[in-house]
């Protein structure tokens, strides 16, 4: 067995009874079907644009692009779900309305209807995430009695906002992890990390080899979200301090709207900065990158579980089909 260590750009996402793997040139989806077979779908990855190569800017662009791929993959995997509960009359009505909507979109937009549905799902997901983890903490922190017209009070307010944001995120992960269906998702997430670790350590991609490796990985979306929260404290504080005079002129609702607007405008910059940090952490292994990755790895306690052999088998199929024939492309 080759024990040489190597890094890879291949990353993935847990699906409903399956995994999505995105390689340098291919997107692979492997789903465990009800008959225990594995459904494999491999598509070419769209070529990178110039914008996707510009540091800081590329982070937000790549995040949106990968969310589109991920939502599409989730929709694809969902068709294998077995409905265990009987549909109520109200649910039947909802499904009928949904069918009407789908028919309308297909009649109006033809083959682009699916893309529109995926785009709408991504936008709704982003709105939910931004609202819950960015805007809501800012709204709650607004009730903390601090003098935000002074630098010390403004910095302390942003620190409190950051604590509220992290607390909400932890609570969200802890509550969602109590659901049995989510636990299986976390198991597939663990299978993804183990498989990538095995490849990066030069091991043969076999179930027994992969089982030895950790379910945590520094280049994980959970770590990325944690970095977004930490970097947001710094960025929001700097922006608020730079505009301290303007904030002093505003009062009441206008000051609150200004604060929310600043957060919305700077989110792409924060996502871009977090993206650059996560790429560096995945590419290098030293005391600095390990320190940066440590909190995110702790967060993965909520989002990863030990997978079974069948899940690892699915991960192997998805991962190997996402790889390029050229090792330099995979790096």
pLDDT in tens, 156-193: 988 999 999 999 988 988 888 788 778 899 999 999 99
DSSP annotation string for 156-196: HHHHHHHHHHHHHHHHHHHHHTTSHHHHHHHHHHHHHHHHH
Given a cut of 60, whether residue 31 has pLDDT beyond it is yes
Residue 85 lies in a domain: no
Residue 180 maps to a domain = yes
Predicted pLDDT of residue 221: 83
> Residue 154's closest CA among 225, 227, 229, 246?
246
Between CA 306 and CA 192 the distance in angstroms is: 11
Flag whether 327 is in a domain. no
Give the separation between CA 185 and CA 191, rounded to whole angstroms.
10
The reported pTM is 0.80
Q: How confident is the model at residue 301 (pLDDT cuts 50, 70, 90)?
A: confident
Whether 94 is covered by a domain: the verdict is no
Residue 298 pLDDT greater than 50, yes or no = yes
Q: Is the pLDDT of residue 128 over 80?
A: yes
Name the residue among 47, 5, 7 with its Cα closest to residue 331.
Answer: 7
Tell me the residue range of the domain where 158 lies.
11-80+100-321
List the structure tokens of 7. Answer: 């890094």
Res 112 pLDDT > 80? no
Q: Return the DSSP state at 310.
A: H
Query: Are 219 and 23 contacting, i.e. CB atoms less than 8 angstroms apart?
Result: no
Other C-beta atoms within 10 Å of 35: how many?
7
Tokens of 75: 């929709």
Q: Which long-range contacts (CB under 8 A, 24 or more apart) does 26-30 make?
A: 26/321, 26/322, 26/323, 26/324, 27/69, 27/73, 27/322, 28/317, 28/318, 28/319, 28/321, 28/322, 29/73, 29/76, 29/77, 29/318, 30/314, 30/315, 30/317, 30/318, 30/321
Domain assignment present for residue 329? The answer is no
Residue 1 lies in a domain: no
pLDDT score, position 2: 45
Assigned domain for 88 exists: no
- Domain contains 198: yes
pLDDT at position 106: 62
Count how many domains the chain has: 1
């Amino acid at each position: 067995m080759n024990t040489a260590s190597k890094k890879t750009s291949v990353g993935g996402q847990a699906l409903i009874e399956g995994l999505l793997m995105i390689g340098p040139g291919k997107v692979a989806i492997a789903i465990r079907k009800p008959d225990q077979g594995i459904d494999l779908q491999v598509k070419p990855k769209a070529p990178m644009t110039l914008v996707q190569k510009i540091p800081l800017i590329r982070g937000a662009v790549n995040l949106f692009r990968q969310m589109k791929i991920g939502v599409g993959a989730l929709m694809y995997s969902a068709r294998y779900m077995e409905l265990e509960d009987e549909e109520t009359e109200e649910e039947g009505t909802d499904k009928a309305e949904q069918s009407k909507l789908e028919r309308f979109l297909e009649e109006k937009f033809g083959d682009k209807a699916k893309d529109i549905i995926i785009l709408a799902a991504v936008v709704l997901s982003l709105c939910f995430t931004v609202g819950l983890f960015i805007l809501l903490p800012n709204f709650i922190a607004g009730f903390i009695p601090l003098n935000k017209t002074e630098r010390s009070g403004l910095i302390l307010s942003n620190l409190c906002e950051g604590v509220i944001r992290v607390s909400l995120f932890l609570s969200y992960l802890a509550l969602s992890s109590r659901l049995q269906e989510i636990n299986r998702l976390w198991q597939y997430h663990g299978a993804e990390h183990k498989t990538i670790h095995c490849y990066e350590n030069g091991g043969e991609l076999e179930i027994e080899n992969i089982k030895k490796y950790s379910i945590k990985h520094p280049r994980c979306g959970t770590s990325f979200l944690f970095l977004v929260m930490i970097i947001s404290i710094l960025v929001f504080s700097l922006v608020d301090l730079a505009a301290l005079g303007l904030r002093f002129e505003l009062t009441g609702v206008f000051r609150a709207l200004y604060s929310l607007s600043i957060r919305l405008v700077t989110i792409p910059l924060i996502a871009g900065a977090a993206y650059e940090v996560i790429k560096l952490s995945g590419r290098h292994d030293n005391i600095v990158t390990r320190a940066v990755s440590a909190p995110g790895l702790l967060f993965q306690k909520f989002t990863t579980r030990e997978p079974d052999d069948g899940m690892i088998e699915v991960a192997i199929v998805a991962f190997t089909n996402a790889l390029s024939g050229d090792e330099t492309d995979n790096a």
